[in-house]
Structure 1
Amino acid sequence: MKIAILGSGNVATHLSKALKAIGEDVVQVYSPNLEHAKLLADELQASSVNHLEQVIGDADFYVVCVKDDAIATVATGLKDVDGLVVHTSGTTDLETLSSTLKNTGVFYPLQTFSKHKEISFNNIPLCLEANSEANFEILNLLANKLSNQVYQLDGEKRKVLHLAAVFACNFTNHLYTLANQLLEKNNLDFEIIRPLIAETADKVMVNLPENVQTGPAVRKDEITINKHLSMLADLPELQEIYQTLSSSIKLTY
């Protein structure tokens, strides 16, 4: 398929490279920042543009990988195209595209992407939705060339999945940041807890997380909890987070 990529961020970078790797013809990259568009386009041997009116009109597939609040604007700029236009957002309704365009869909990869860390799409869940059965079949065929995990999800289920992902990924990573701040403050290196992080993640690959919870809160160890809260007395924001999470664990068990 002849493909245009709209966006040049993390998702656009990884998805466009994956599409090219399976033999798809990625011909153009759009970004409001021409330098960013050109950097990605050069890797793909594609053209680069920074105005929506410059986006080619004869692509088979348009992948909108922009911030959620920019999707509607991009869709309006593509209103005259006949190709299939998809966005990659976990929280944006399909109707944001279909109110303007004829052939629309959602192509949501459930993964955390960093531009400079390579990642294989083989096991990335791809969540699909389309405004017609014919368009869904196009997405399904393409998705199955990229990944072993392809799901048809409506907008409501996709939003729930995205919310769960924020808890499982974004909040978890932020807790790593807070842990590192505590370590640095006390001249300890983050390296020392990396094996703990790896083991915690490994366990939930083969168990439900509620079956492998450990720590003072699940043991109802109030002595240790109170010691920790005292240690955080000069860090009230961390103390509040500790208290909130400990209370949640105790309520769960």
Structure 2
Amino acid sequence: MISVVLLGAGNVATHLYNVFQDAKHITVTQWYNRHLSKLTTYKNEVEITDNLEDLNPADIYILAVSDDAISNVSKALPFQDRFVVHTSGTVSLYDINDKHSRGVFYPLQTFTKDAEIDFSTIPLCIEALKNPDLKLLKTLSESIGSKHYKISTEQRKRLHVAAVFANNFTNQMYRITHEITEENQIEFEVLKPLILETAKKIQKMTPYMAQTGPAVRGDKKTIKKHLKLIKNPQHKAIYELLTNAILETHGRKKL
């Protein structure tokens, strides 16, 4: 049985707590947050505390706190030579205070507290300085049904940049799409099959091969018609920027 102490009460911490609770070989012995009110819902399920001095012994301490807090919280932990990991996509393993054994347990997924998450579909990026610690992270990943990848700090930082393009920027494109459809009294629902098909295609082919649309065809007549229809200056600038990126990628002359 792997004993875990969770620190933090945000989206990632909440989802980790839920999946750990369902896992046969993991026990959350304690949950810490500096504002205890955020944990009172769980007080009948797990020991909660807002005092670092009261932390229990555990196999692993998971800092699911903000990136800026990782260094300070790890320094404030009232013990040493225990295994402490963070869950950040951008913070170095070495930001954890060196009085601890250090590691990273980064789930590569977008988290919203009330949205259901299936950890069997989530890749876990793990890193540790010591082989026994790395083995523990592998076991922890497998215990919640997740596939694990040994990813270095430098790789993880760049992976996080890629994830922003794949998720955050894509979602902003959906927001713009939603705005355009609403302005023109069109149901956003009409576009959902297209969105799903686009995501499905890259399961079987590269994004380069999956690209369609007027830019990849070099159809500048259609592109010009689109630009005339777009009234929002920001949307027009984004359309031009992405169109030129596609034209250049596929060896065509830019606008």
**What TM-score, normalized by structure 2, do the two folds share?**
0.92
Quick check: 1:251 aligned with 2:248?
yes
Tell me, what secondary structure is at the counterpart of 1:63?
Answer: strand
Q: Deviations over 1:40-64 (max 9, x none)?
A: x348x1122234334x141221111
Q: Deviations over 1:196-217 (max 9, x none)?
A: 1011111111111110111111
The 2-side partners of 1:222 and 1:179 are apart by 21
Q: Deviations over 1:165-199 (max 9, x none)?
A: 11111111111011101111111121111111011
What is the CA-CA distance between 1:108 and the residue it aligns to? 0.7
Tell me, what secondary structure is at the counterpart of 1:91?
Answer: coil
2:30·2:56 contact (CA, 8 Å) conserved in 1? no
| 1:19–1:101 Cα change, 3 Å | farther
In structure 1, the residue matched to 2:84 is 85
Among all aligned residue pairs of Structure 1 and Structure 2, give the percentage whose two residues are the same amino acid. Answer: 41
In structure 1, the residue matched to 2:13 is 12
Instruction: Write the letter of the residue equivalent to 1:248.
Output: A
Instruction: Note the 1:66-81 alignment, pairs <5 A.
Output: 66-81=65-80
Instruction: Note the 1:216-231 alignment, pairs <5 A.
Output: 216-231=214-229
Runs of 4+ in 1 over 4 A off after TM superposition: none
The 1-side partners of 2:220 and 2:34 are apart by 54
In structure 2, the residue matched to 1:240 is 237
The 2-side partners of 1:81 and 1:225 are apart by 61
Tell me, what secondary structure is at the counterpart of 1:107?
Answer: strand
Tell me, what secondary structure is at the counterpart of 1:116?
Answer: coil
The 1-side partners of 2:174 and 2:74 are apart by 37
Instruction: Write the letter of the residue equivalent to 2:137.
Output: L
The 2-side partners of 1:117 and 1:180 are apart by 21
Query: Which shows bigger deviation, 67-76 or 78-87?
Result: 78-87
The 2-side partners of 1:173 and 1:31 are apart by 30
In structure 2, the residue matched to 1:29 is 31
Instruction: Note the 1:85-234 alignment, pairs <5 A.
Output: 85-97=84-96, 99-232=97-230, 234=231
Instruction: Write the letter of the residue equivalent to 1:37.
Output: L
Instruction: Write the letter of the residue equivalent to 1:28.
Output: Q
Where does the alignment leave 5 or more consecutive residues of structure 2 unmatched? Answer: 251-255
The 2-side partners of 1:172 and 1:112 are apart by 12
The 1-side partners of 2:43 and 2:229 are apart by 52
Query: Which shows bigger deviation, 239-248 or 22-31?
Result: 22-31
Tell me, what secondary structure is at the counterpart of 2:214?
Answer: coil
1:63·1:87 contact (CA, 8 Å) conserved in 2? yes
Root-mean-square deviation (Å): 1.6
2:108·2:125 contact (CA, 8 Å) conserved in 1? yes
How many pairs does the alignment contain? 248
Instruction: Write the letter of the residue equivalent to 2:119.
Output: F
2:39·2:48 contact (CA, 8 Å) conserved in 1? yes
The 1-side partners of 2:117 and 2:49 are apart by 26
What is the CA-CA distance between 1:120 and the residue it aligns to? 1.4
Tell me, what secondary structure is at the counterpart of 2:29?
Answer: strand
